[in-house]
Amino acid sequence: MKHIFRFKNYFFHSKNNQLKRLLLVAFLLTGLWLTPQQGRVWGQEQPFVVKKIDLSQYGAAASIAQDPESKQLAIGFYNCNLIFLDANLNQDQKNNLFLKNCKRFFRARYGEFGSIPFLISSIYTGSSVLHNSQENFDIPLHKAAVTDSLILQDYLLSSSDDGSVTISRLISLSPPEVNTFKLYQSIGVARNLAFTHTSNPEVGKVAVSYDTGEIAIFNIDHDTARNPVEPSTFKTINSRINTFKFTPDGAKLLIGYFTGELVELDLATGAHKTLAKVNSWLNALDINSENLVAIADDQGFVKIISLTTGKIVEEHKISTTGINAVIFTDDQTVVAADATGMIYQGKLAGSN
């Protein structure tokens, strides 16, 4: 600091005008050199949202699903519209679908029945609707609303807002014929299903979540329908579970709560820990193969959390309203949908 004051006193009191001019020129050149350098560094910071499309004419989005083979995206809306996009969010106008006799749409998932790919939609009128490129098949399953459903080999697993979980053997699609067995019944709405493979290729693991905070976990195989077994049950927080998913190794569940917690549950020990807490509803989550978790909340934030460190590595407010759905379309790309029908594509920091 003393050197700075000495330089100032010398500069203003010196009578050597030529030296003053040289010092001023050097100062200006230094400033001109620094300015473009700073601009270049700032320009390297890429925005998280790289593309967005407006589908607000369809109302609020409810879910996003991606076909694992074609990478096609299916955006489901509460008003029973299904809109199809490619991986770059280009809309396929010819395949847009309105589900008749639906009243309210809950969720869509991709699956296969008889080696034929289908999109399975869960709707208010008690059915799951199986859709392929040619036609729709309405499969009645529950007296109350079907909140979630997925295909496991030749079986259709479904949950309902009457608290029941059923497994149905698909005998025929047209006319629809199923043999349905109740796997479980509990208090409250059975809202979400999650599935993971196990080390035994003949056995899968399924979880169902309830608005009471209860989670029930089943092993599913070919004998399950004939000989259902009692599930393992967990309850970590007395709050509605809005979303959950198995980790890639199937050893843990990631759970998003109405009260904002993101909880990691170890299925072997029952131990659990809170990874994050948002200041609103935690509406949706997904996990990629690099153990990064994307969570979306009701204040318009998408946050990326490392399961390895348990820390938030990215945080972006992308909407002024709630984000209803979020998925990884690849390890570096996130697609999210908000309550107004806007669809966002985001790229993680460091991605090309």
| Complete domains list, the chain, with CATH | 48-55+238-351 (2.130.10.10), 99-235 (2.130.10.10)
Cβ burial of 209 (10 Å; 0-12, 13-18, 19+) is buried
Cα–Cα nearest to 147, from 106, 182, 194: 106
User: Quick one: pLDDT at residue 44?
Assistant: 42
Distance between CA atoms of residues 109 and 107, nearest Å: 7
Question: pLDDT at residue 37 above 80?
Answer: no
State the average pLDDT over residues 206-221: 95
Band of residue 30 on the pLDDT scale cut at 50, 70, 90 = very low
Cα–Cα nearest to 127, from 97, 96, 148, 155: 148
* Straight-line distance from the first to the last Cα atom of the chain, in angstroms, rounded to the nearest whole number: 44
Question: pLDDT at residue 225 above 70?
Answer: no
Distance between CA atoms of residues 298 and 322, nearest Å: 4
In the block, residue with structure tokens 């990064």: 292
Distance between CA atoms of residues 158 and 352, nearest Å: 39
Q: What mean pLDDT, rounded, does the chain reach?
A: 88
User: Quick one: pLDDT at residue 21?
Assistant: 57
Distance between CA atoms of residues 182 and 280, nearest Å: 35
Tokens of 350: 């460091």
Looking at the chain, the whole-number percentage of residues with pLDDT higher than 90 is 75
State the average pLDDT over residues 217-223: 86
User: Quick one: pLDDT at residue 41?
Assistant: 34
Distance between CA atoms of residues 329 and 65, nearest Å: 9
User: Quick one: pLDDT at residue 131?
Assistant: 95
Band of residue 229 on the pLDDT scale cut at 50, 70, 90 = confident
Cα–Cα nearest to 220, from 254, 196, 247, 251: 196
SS3 334: strand
Cβ burial of 269 (10 Å; 0-12, 13-18, 19+) is exposed
147, 106 in Cβ contact below 8 A?
yes
User: Quick one: pLDDT at residue 111?
Assistant: 94
pTM of the model: 0.84
300, 314 in Cβ contact below 8 A?
no
Beta strand residue intervals within 164-300, DSSP E: 164-172, 177-185, 190-197, 204-210, 214-220, 232-235, 241-246, 252-257, 261-266, 272-277, 282-287, 292-297
Band of residue 36 on the pLDDT scale cut at 50, 70, 90 = very low
Q: Could you read off the pLDDT of 167-190 as tens digits, one per residue?
A: 999 999 999 999 999 999 999 999
